[in-house]
Structure 1
């Protein structure tokens, strides 16, 4: 099957399921936790990647598989377990999900994340706005 919008659709038990698409050249390397980048930038990686995993994985089992692949990739990149767990929890809390994802609540929680309204970016009128950058 063909990948659509970073998802990998595949038949499973007579239904069409989706999971995260990985290019054939994919390598599990993200910004190293030991880099000099700001901490909030490094914390955003597990946060954003988990939300992507939830949005793209249509079944609880594929979510569990992808979440563990993500955890392993983050550990390879020196992310502490404490930061990974904290950011995984923060990702759920952002959408008002106060419980761990289970087989019973996965579809409901996933739909809540998918349906969450996206903030529109404010348009900047560059003709009337001056940006000053100090180095």
Structure 2
């Protein structure tokens, strides 16, 4: 992905092609392969165009396995708490809808349980995350407006 880029725009296809072709004419070293589509897989989030709205979620590689630092490892507990917070921050940044975020939150809970994290520890630190970001309504009610603030 070193030289890969993607863009989103409200321009019509002809305007996009015209601008990209002019860019390629300006420098013979610039080679652009143009693909215009409704969705793509690019690094972590696969952006999709849903009637004028950019939709992103978390993309997992096919070889991905749900392994994280086991709870019983010899690390300070704050490291384990940070893992929970990081999982939720990542989901909030990448999932454009509250429903996708909630699915990632549930997935994170399962991953944590599989890796030996006690349910009370998970609940406490997930609750701390939602309190820290003033987003309890996202956790308890899947509130869309509160999620949009968290996401942005």
Q: Normalising to structure 1: TM-score of the pair?
A: 0.71
Unaligned runs of 5+ in 2: 1-39
1:94 is matched with 132
- 8 A Cα contact 1:32 1:78, kept in partner: yes
TM-score normalised over the length of structure 2: 0.64
Query: 1:14/1:79 Cα in 2 relative to 1: closer, same or farther (>3 Å)?
Result: same
Aligned: 1:111 with 2:148: yes
Kindly indicate whether structure 1 or structure 2 has the higher relative contact order, using CA contacts under 8 Å at least 6 residues apart. Answer: 1
1:74 matched to which residue of 2? 112
- The structure number with the bigger radius of gyration is 2
Q: Deviations over 1:10-64 (max 9, x none)?
A: 3557744211121222110000000010000011111110121122111122122
Deviation at 1:94, TM superposition (A): 1.2
CA RMSD of aligned residues (A): 2.1
1:101 and 1:10, CA in 2 relative to 1: closer, same or farther beyond 3 A? farther
Contact 2:135 2:150 in 1 (8 A): no
Instruction: Looking at secondary structure, tell me which structure has more helix per residue.
Output: 2
Aligned residues: 112
Aligned match for 1:37, one of 72, 75, 81: 75
Indicate which of 58, 69, 84 corresponds to 1:20.
58
Preserved CA contact (<8 Å) 2:47 2:55: yes
Q: Match for 1:84 among 111, 114, 122?
A: 122
CA deviation map 1:93-117 (0-9, x unaligned):
11223433534x23x32333344xx
Q: Residues of 1 paired with 2:80 and 2:96: CA distance?
A: 27
Q: Compare 30-39 and 94-103 and name the one that shifted more.
A: 94-103
For the Cα contact (< 8 Å) 2:135–2:147, is it kept in 1?
Answer: no
The 8 Å contact of residues 84 and 122 in structure 2, kept in 1 or not, is answered as yes
